[in-house]
């Protein structure tokens, strides 16, 4: 068993434990490479079927190709695809692109607040109708008590403080100092009633591991990660007003792997093209304490 096999086995184990221990959980799908690998692992864990709803928080500022990719894969893999949004903030144009708020406030509103209220069922949710390929209001307003997320410890500073099973309070707020120990692959899953749980099956994966696994498994990902002839590609995906591509001529997965191994990005944070991180003091801890992914 090689290193990728061990990572895969651990992640599959975490997914099955989460499904067994927690009622009414969902999985966040940001459409990026990490959460798509997580989705692939879920299909492996449950023998080709994903029994967990996929939830996407749509800010309406995602790169259009991301939404197209999301819906195409949801139809192909027969996923229960749900999205939520902060419709009030969007209607009132209280966003950074509209010049009404700064980037951090925009993220808190369109992502953190939208996520919290989508998970709780307090705001409208929309689910894909596979007969039409369109989204319709989701009649299921039951609260999601846990959410599976594709974050990695090496991706960004605050994420290195996470656990595989990470408790939040009823408001989704994160107390970084109140995390359960996880020694020798022993995980705490018996939390007090009302605790919101974040589950992180990819915590020990690295960016290189993700790309090596994508290559090995031939996982379909959005073409935004590849150079389309302009000498640039996206290394991390987000809202288009706050995400810039990196200088790179990698046109396929193998070339990205070689680029990572050669050290081109060895000392450059993966999210260096995400402007909201810089506005948050170079990290995401302020946003993540309040419920951001």
pLDDT one-digit tens code per residue, 192-241: 777 788 999 999 999 999 999 999 999 999 999 999 999 999 998 989 99
What's the DSSP call for residue 160?
Answer: G
Note whether 104 and 286 are within 8 A (CB). yes
Strand partners of residue 249: none
End-to-end CA distance of the chain: 32
Note whether 117 and 84 are within 8 A (CB). yes
Average pLDDT over residues 42-71: 96
Average pLDDT over residues 56-79: 96
Q: Where residue 170 falls among pLDDT bands split at 50, 70, 90? A: low
Q: Where residue 74 falls among pLDDT bands split at 50, 70, 90? A: very high
Q: For residue 75, what are its two tokens? A: 């139809």
Task: Write down the pLDDT at residue 165.
Answer: 86
Helix (H) or strand (E) holding 135: strand 134-137
Q: Where residue 172 falls among pLDDT bands split at 50, 70, 90? A: low
Task: Write down the pLDDT at residue 125.
Answer: 97
Mean residue pLDDT across the chain: 87
Residues with Cβ within 8 Å of 114's Cβ and at least 6 positions away in sequence, in order, are 57, 59, 84, 85, 86, 123
Helix (H) or strand (E) holding 5: helix 3-21
Q: For residue 248, what are its two tokens? A: 């790179």
Note whether 209 and 3 are within 8 A (CB). yes
Number of neighbours of residue 256 by Cβ within 10 angstroms:
26
Task: Write down the pLDDT at residue 262.
Answer: 86
Residues with Cβ within 8 Å of 206's Cβ and at least 6 positions away in sequence, in order, are 152, 154
Report the greatest alpha carbon distance in the chain: 54
Between 172 and 50, whose confidence is greater? 50
What's the DSSP call for residue 40?
Answer: H
Q: Where residue 281 falls among pLDDT bands split at 50, 70, 90? A: low
DSSP 263-274: TTTTTS-TTTTB
Total residues belonging to the chain: 293
Residues with Cβ within 8 Å of 225's Cβ and at least 6 positions away in sequence, in order, are 33, 233, 234, 235, 237, 256
Q: For residue 173, what are its two tokens? A: 């707020």
Q: Mind listing the pLDDT tens digit for each residue in 102-120?
A: 999 999 999 999 999 999 9
| pLDDT over 90 at 158, yes or no | no
Task: Write down the pLDDT at residue 66.
Answer: 96
Q: Where residue 288 falls among pLDDT bands split at 50, 70, 90? A: very low
| pLDDT over 80 at 289, yes or no | no
Note whether 166 and 174 are within 8 A (CB). yes
Helices 33-45 & 207-217, crossing angle to 10 degrees?
A: 50
Task: Write down the pLDDT at residue 32.
Answer: 94
Domains along the chain? 3-205+281-290 (3.40.50.620), 207-277 (no CATH)
Of all residues in the chain, what percent carry a pLDDT higher than 90? 68
Residues with Cβ within 8 Å of 32's Cβ and at least 6 positions away in sequence, in order, are 150, 236, 237
Note whether 61 and 110 are within 8 A (CB). yes
């Amino acid at each position: 068993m090689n290193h990728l096999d061990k990572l895969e086995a651990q992640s599959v184990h975490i997914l099955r434990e989460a499904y067994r221990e927690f009622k009414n959980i969902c999985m966040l799908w940001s459409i990026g490479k990490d959460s798509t690998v997580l989705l692939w692992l879920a299909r492996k864990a449950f023998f080709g079927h994903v029994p967990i709803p996929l939830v996407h928080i749509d800010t309406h500022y995602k790169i259009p190709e991301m939404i197209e990719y999301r819906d195409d894969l949801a139809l192909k893999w027969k996923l229960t695809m749900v999205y939520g949004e902060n419709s009030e903030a969007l209607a009132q144009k209280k966003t950074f692109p509209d010049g009404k708020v700064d980037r951090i406030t925009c993220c808190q509103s369109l992502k953190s607040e939208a996520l919290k209220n989508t998970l709780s069922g307090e705001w409208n949710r929309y689910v894909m109708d596979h007969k039409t390929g369109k989204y319709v209001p989701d009649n299921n307003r039951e609260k999601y008590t846990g959410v599976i997320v594709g974050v990695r410890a090496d991706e960004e500073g605050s994420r290195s403080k996470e656990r595989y099973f990470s408790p939040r309070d009823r408001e989704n707020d994160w107390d970084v100092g109140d995390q359960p120990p996880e020694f020798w692959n022993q995980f705490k899953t018996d939390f007090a009633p009302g605790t919101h749980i974040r589950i992180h099956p990819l915590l020990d994966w690295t960016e290189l591991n993700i790309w090596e696994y994508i290559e090995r498994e031939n996982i379909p990902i959005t073409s935004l990660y590849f150079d389309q002839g302009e000498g640039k590609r996206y290394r991390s995906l987000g809202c288009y007003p706050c995400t810039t591509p990196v200088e790179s001529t990698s046109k396929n997965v193998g070339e990205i792997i070689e680029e990572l191994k050669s050290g081109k990005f060895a000392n450059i944070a993966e999210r260096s093209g995400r402007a909201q991180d810089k506005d948050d003091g170079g990290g995401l801890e302020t946003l993540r304490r309040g419920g951001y992914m």
